[in-house]
Structure 1
């Protein structure tokens, strides 16, 4: 009897060990997958991030006006950029001008808020832009902070240029999606592109969970 019990527990311990090993291996594999996907996305896009002074209606409207003025200024500069490196170079070259554009809008509104503009990496939560969804992660962004920067923010993608969504449909134009697809792997594109038949892609959830 004792021999049988010992054999039983040895089998239980063995099976448990195997299951633990498989679980740890699966977890490590998912972690590596999430890191690879997140890094790939981070290296393929440059985001545009505008933070309002506060959440008052006036400050939020001011933020939108700063956004529109900067996008209008930067559109012809970035329009024919052939690569993310070139886009980064052009943004860095025009940081002073971007600051001046923002300052002019703020002055026109009769405000004396400071403006801070920089190109840097920062952590983002999961964000939806039109029908494109970017998982949480660390992304490079052209960041404009108005005043205290304590209000709701606005963001889009400067490279590939996705800062123009069809207001009527809330959908990123086909041209923008094609440029995004050209700069991502097929798998990365499938993760961020919303599809009605599978809105909760398992791969997206893995990347999102490991980057929280």
Structure 2
């Protein structure tokens, strides 16, 4: 099943990610190439945040085998649209088990995301088609990932925010007597490591 998700990742137009410390030219995934997933917590209490993660797990568990068979963005959107009733039942079931007093809104919509960098991949800021789950008032921190290409289902723990301002200037060079010997740069190419079912998405989301 995870192998199929990896195949969907490649066919969908994503590129190999590198191990930390390696070098590769960046590629950009524009909003019209991507479908994203966002879960917004009811609040920022530890309980509300835990419920958010339970909802995330349940939704991704349902979506993983569905999106593993999808090879185009249009196909992903169609599958999500057709699956909305089942996803709403899934989310409602989690909230009932957790005995919370609030409900949820589950919709396929267009929503704004800030810029992010995943290794060699750049996701610019903009409005993206997304599966949006809003719990209760939706006043808490959110969790998100990329459903298509299937980046929710690979290890992307090194995703970072794009800085809003230019980085500070580098420090001046050391005097020649203290400069360390030059080292040859070695580039190692690698593919993302897939995680075992039950833990393969837990480190993926970014809170902002």
Same fold (TM over 0.5): yes
What SS does the aligned partner of 2:137 have?
Answer: coil
Give 4+ residue runs of structure 1 displaced > 6 Å after superposition: none
Cα distance in structure 2, aligned partners of 1:57 and 1:152:
11
Contact 1:130 1:170 in 2 (8 A): no
Contact 1:131 1:170 in 2 (8 A): no
Contact 1:50 1:145 in 2 (8 A): yes
Quickly say closer, same or farther: Cα 1:73–1:149, change in 2 above 3 A.
Answer: same
Quickly say closer, same or farther: Cα 1:76–1:124, change in 2 above 3 A.
Answer: same
Cα distance in structure 2, aligned partners of 1:108 and 1:102:
10
1:175 Cα offset (Å): 5.9
Cα distance in structure 1, aligned partners of 2:93 and 2:81:
20
1:135 Cα offset (Å): 2.1
Q: Tell me what 1:72 maps to.
A: 61
From the CA coordinates, give the structure whose radius of gyration is larger.
1
Note the residue ranges of structure 2 that are not aligned, 5 or more in a row. Answer: 1-26, 160-189, 194-208
Q: Tell me what 2:196 maps to.
A: none
Aligned mate of 1:93, from 82, 85, 103: 82
Q: TM-score, normalised by structure 1?
A: 0.59
Q: Which gives a bigger RCO, structure 1 or 2 (Cα 8 Å, sep 6+)?
A: 2
Q: Tell me what 1:174 maps to.
A: 191
Contact 2:113 2:128 in 1 (8 A): yes
